[in-house]
Amino acid sequence: MLSAENLHTIREEGALLLAAFGRDPAAMVPQYPGWTLDDLVYHTAGVHGRTVLICRLLAQERVHAPRCAPDMTVDDWYRQNLAEMLEIFGSSDPGVSVWGFGASPTIGFWERRMVIETGVHRRDAEQALGLEGPLTDHVAVSGLDEFTELWLPFLGEVPTLKVTATDIGRSWVIGPGTEGSEVEGTASEVFLRLMARPSAVSLPTVWADAVDRLAPPPKPDRAPRQDAT
């Protein structure tokens, strides 16, 4: 069984994202120029759906995200994928190896990844409505725990950095050597900045340039796939 806190977070963050969508599906998402909340929910539903396939099939090779069937609305598809993902997480062994990122990906990796994915996109969705609330501590800490393994390889040559979440009294050293500089802020503000989002935290120039090159995902392809499930 996977952790109750992670499942609770995915469920709550997933519901809040959908609630934001319900207020104004056409609202533009500042983080992703050209995206509406409809696009963001479609993207997140696809990520959830891919996670379901990986964990259900115990996939050992890359799995493509499914696409919404022509006879389903985006919000119904999102609800279905979220519910299926929570169900399979709730009955899975987190130590089982599956395809993913990093050295030894498991179902537990995808559990944490979906805490972060759902929580960060909930915040993106609320920002589209003019709301600027923080990430929850659990989402932010999960993201900081993951950062070295998942995102550091995409940043190129950056000096080792120590980040400190002053609100919870925890620090992370990101990189293989002795830290060259240090930044502080709340866990939410630190992780948001590392995810190339607006934040009160200022990164060293080389780090700021590197994280700002993290490209947004492509606009969701709304054409139905023959192999979609």
Task: Say which CATH number the domain at 96 has.
Answer: 1.20.120.450
Task: Please indicate, yes or no, if residue 222 is contained in any of the structural domains.
Answer: no
Looking at the 3D structure of the chain, how many domains does it have?
2
Task: Please indicate, yes or no, if residue 217 is contained in any of the structural domains.
Answer: no
Residues 109 and 186 in one domain: no
Residues 93 and 17 in one domain: yes
Please report the pLDDT score of residue 1 as a whole number.
45
Chosen domain end from 128, 145, 174: 128
Residues 12 and 120 in one domain: yes
Please report the pLDDT score of residue 171 as a whole number.
96
| Residue 204 to residue 9: CA distance in whole angstroms | 31
Chosen domain end from 70, 97, 128: 128
Residues 57 and 155 in one domain: no
Residues 71 and 180 in one domain: no
| Residue 55 to residue 194: CA distance in whole angstroms | 28
Please report the pLDDT score of residue 223 as a whole number.
55
Task: Please indicate, yes or no, if residue 181 is contained in any of the structural domains.
Answer: yes
Chosen domain end from 68, 100, 128: 128
Please report the pLDDT score of residue 179 as a whole number.
66
Residues spanned by the domain of 152 = 137-212
Residues 122 and 143 in one domain: no
Which pLDDT tens digit goes with each residue over 83-123? 999 999 999 999 999 999 988 899 999 999 999 999 999 99
Task: Please indicate, yes or no, if residue 228 is contained in any of the structural domains.
Answer: no
Query: Residues in the chain with pLDDT < 50?
Result: 1, 224-229
Task: Please indicate, yes or no, if residue 224 is contained in any of the structural domains.
Answer: no
Query: What is the edge-to-edge ordering of all strands in the sheet holding 181-185?
Result: 170-174, 161-165, 181-185
Please report the pLDDT score of residue 218 as a whole number.
73
> Helix 187-194 and helix 137-150: axis angle, to 10°?
40
Task: Please indicate, yes or no, if residue 223 is contained in any of the structural domains.
Answer: no
Greatest pairwise CA separation for the chain in angstroms = 55
Residues 107 and 180 in one domain: no
Please report the pLDDT score of residue 229 as a whole number.
28
Q: CATH number, domain at 202? A: 3.30.1050
Please report the pLDDT score of residue 227 as a whole number.
36
Residues 32 and 115 in one domain: yes
